[in-house]
Homo-oligomer: A and B are copies of this chain.
């Protein structure tokens, strides 16, 4: 595979220049398959799957479509477990533990999200996915070389021009310019200073000017006008996440769907309370009262372990007070339809207009 795949209206081998953003926890192979069949590129988020689950999902995708798809991994450094940090984090959460009768001693240490590894690569290799995308930079060089040896196109997210330059220098085939409007985890990896984060309208043209590889626009895009505006600003393709959250084939929970359809969906914030890393969620009780940014938060991804206990209890009572309600700053593109209908509406009268 080579860069020619990005040109001439054929984007990475798909008909339409759109990637469905990988969204761990709210979608699996069903959405990937539906997007691929509609002519876009579906993405399987693997950060919260174990090797067997990854194999099972990839098998389903391969048996359902021959179109190219994307497999996405986090590539953070797994932290050492720090008992003192854990104690401080539990202490922050103590009032709500009490409210939900959770004994913090009963919470077993867990990892939450797995970084990409050779063990996972063993499972993925036989599938030789057309595209592999990473979040939080890139895996170490031998792992990256291994992915490239399969012929997979490698993408990763940049939230600043510096990150885009770093990714290009380290061998990516394309860069996802993640504007700060985007829902879910910020892909930032060279800085943890949130003031470095830039809106899509400003970030996209600056990255386009700075690198030679194709740039995929992400953050705030959900309709045909957004598609056209992103291409006008120099994007080769778009990545959309939030717009797919209400689709039939997404696994978005009923509570999450209700939040997305509610008035509160217009107010999201970048928060570290759900995982330990900054991510954009609708502002709920957890974001408001524990965050949005808590200095005592346990390291990513360990913070999620205790939060998940609260989430389970709250959700059992029909409340999304402690659920990570991932969402971008523009829910205008969300529709309760199939992924095919959503994609076709966006590209309907646009394909001809794009040069």
**Known: A205-B223, A225-B205, A232-B228. Contact between A198 and B270, CB under 8 A?**
no
Interchain CB contact under 8 A, A330 and B229: no
A241 contacts B by Cβ under 8 Å: no
Write the A282-301 contact mask toward B (1 if CB under 8 angstroms, else 0).
01000000001000000000
Q: Is A332 an interface residue (CB 8 A)?
A: yes
Interface residue range, chain A = 35 or more
In the complex, whether A77 has a CB less than 8 A from a CB of chain B is no
Q: Tell me if B221 and A267 are in contact (CB < 8 A).
A: no
Across the interface, name the chain B residue whose C-beta is closest to A330. B202
The smallest beta-carbon distance between A13 and chain B, in angstroms, is 27
A157 to chain B, nearest CB (A): 16
Say which residue of B202, B268, B269 sits within 8 Å of A329 (CB atoms).
B202
On chain B, the residues within 8 Å of A68 by CB distance are none
**A213-250 CB contacts (< 8 Å) to partner B:** 219-221, 223, 225-226, 228-230, 232-234
Q: Which residues of B lie under 8 Å from residue A226 when comparing CB positions?
A: 201, 205, 233
A324 at the interface (CB under 8 A from B): no
CB-nearest residue of chain B relative to A227? Answer: B232
- In Å, the complex CA distance between A200 and B205 comes to 13
Per the bound structure, the CA–CA distance linking A39 and B21 in Å amounts to 42
B161 touches A266 (CB 8 A): yes
A267 touches B219 (CB 8 A): no
Write out, one digit per residue, whether chain A residues 204-215 have a CB within 8 A of any chain B CB (1) or not (0): 011001000000
Within 8 A of B (CB), among A166-217: 179-181, 195-196, 198-203, 205-206, 209
For A200, the chain B residues whose CB sits under 8 A away are 199-202
* Copies of this chain assembled into the complex: 2
Measured between alpha carbons, how far is A298 from B328 in the docked complex, in Å? Answer: 33
Min CB–CB distance A346 → chain B (angstroms): 13
Contact B225 A199, beta carbon cutoff 8 Å: no
- Given A266-B161, A332-B206, A332-B209, verify A198-B225 contact (CB < 8 Å): no
State A292–B195 Cα separation when bound (angstroms).
Answer: 9
Once the chains are docked, how many angstroms separate the CA of A228 from the CA of B353? 14
Taking Cβ atoms with an 8 Å cutoff, the residues of A that contact B are 160-161, 179-181, 195-196, 198-203, 205-206, 209, 219-221, 223, 225-226, 228-230, 232-234, 266-270, 283, 292, 328-330, 332
Q: Pick 20 A–B contacts, CB within 8 A, sort by A.
A: A160-B266, A161-B266, A179-B199, A195-B269, A198-B329, A198-B330, A200-B202, A201-B201, A201-B221, A201-B229, A201-B330, A202-B328, A202-B330, A203-B329, A205-B223, A205-B226, A206-B330, A225-B232, A229-B232, A229-B233
The 5 closest A-B pairs by CB, nearest first: A199-B199, A202-B220, A195-B269, A202-B330, A202-B329
